[in-house]
Amino acid sequence: EAVINRIAAGEIIRRPSNALKELLENSLDAGATNIQILIKDGGLKLLQIQDNGHGIRKEDMAIVCERFTTSKIETFEDLSCISTYGFRGEALASITHVAHVTITTKTADSNCAYRAHYADSKLVPPKPGVSAEPKPCAGNTGTLITAEDLFYNAPTRREALKNTSEEYKRILDVVNRYAIYNAGQGSNIADVSTLANASTLDNIRQIYGSSTASELLELKKDVEGLDLKVKGYVSNANYNVKKIVFLLFINHRAVESLALKKTIESVYATFLPKGTHPFIYIGLEMKPQNIDVNVHTTKREVRFLYEDEIIAAIGDVIHERLAGADT
């Protein structure tokens, strides 16, 4: 059973950045406004994330890392949207199958924090001969999670990930996306003090440079009939760099959509010189029932219902903006 669990976990957590993304989303779900991340060896030696969210109650600590444990399905209707976030209650469980996990957490109404260690979904003692029960300790309200020695039990996977600077780059990419998306809400995700309380544009400037930020057009549009809200910033026709930046969020989650990316690139093709590429940051809100994120477990490649219509509508919004700004 342990082997099967490890293989299943490896499908969800393929590399350190997948684990970090799950942990970061959990912190945001817990209402955190300050999140600090520490990485060693591209996340393979250590992934640590500390948040000031609502914490985990002591009595829930024994089960949080079990498969399908989630506090996020409140009503039956929510079950119909289950695919929206994918893997309900599977992220923490998966991480404990491929790393040594420690959780230190405190809720606002508790006098102290509690710390517990996990392996293969279960509480484990920190060392032989002591209790596995959560131990009281000092701490602020919020949660600190460490995942150490990622893929210690999967040598082939570990070997494939030995380029730690590549893994670090992928983690930074995830963190940067969320820093931009959560800007202006007091979030301090990147542990860079200058990002705190900054606007979306400030964070784009910080991460992608002021020359990028100065060439952006704001998008803000409700597309009627499709129940679609589009917001974001996209580069204008003067912006021509060699590498495309495509940051996509759907219902507050960073996702990928190759089909949408292609459509937007083709819209830009008529505005930009050949061989140059746009900067695109888009946040979409749509009915959860219309999205399926489970096409590819780790890349978060999404598919939508009414996909052609939705993609065409977004292409039109950008085309309009580019055409309007040109004159």
Is residue 134 a contact partner of residue 115, using CB atoms and an 8 Å limit? Answer: yes
Residue from 143, 146, 188, 257 binding ligand ADP (CB under 6 A): 143
| Cα–Cα distance measured from residue 290 to residue 303, given in angstroms and rounded to the nearest whole number | 9
Q: How many residues bind ligand ADP (CB under 6 A)?
A: 21
The site partner of 71 among Mg ion, ligand ADP, none (C-beta below 5 to 8 Å per kind) is: ligand ADP
State the first-to-last Cα distance of the chain, in angstroms, to the nearest integer: 64
Binding characters for Mg ion, 25-64, by CB under 5 A (x = yes): -x--------------------------------------
Task: Please identify, using beta-carbon distances, which residue of 39 and 310 lies nearer to ligand ADP.
Answer: 39
Per CB under 5 A, 96 contacts Mg ion: no
Contacting range for Mg ion; rule: CB under 5 A; set: 18-26, 33-41, 42-50, 315-323: 18-26
Residues 6+ apart with CB under 8 A from 153: 6, 98
Cβ proximity of 43 and 16 under 8 Å? yes
Backbone angles phi, psi at 208, to 5 degrees: -110, 0
What count of Cα atoms within 13 Å lies in the side-chain half-sphere of residue 256?
12
3-state secondary structure 15-40: CHHHHHHHHHHHHHHCCCCCEEEEEE
One character per residue 72-91, x = contact with ligand ADP (rule: CB under 6 A): x---------------xxxx
User: Which residue, 42 or 86, is less far from ligand ADP as judged by CB?
Assistant: 86
Within 186-245, the residues that bind ligand ADP by CB under 6 A are none
Residue 18 interacts with Mg ion (CB under 5 A): yes or no: no
User: Which parts of this chain interact with ligand ADP (CB under 6 A)?
Assistant: 22, 26-27, 30, 51, 53-56, 64, 69-72, 88-93, 143
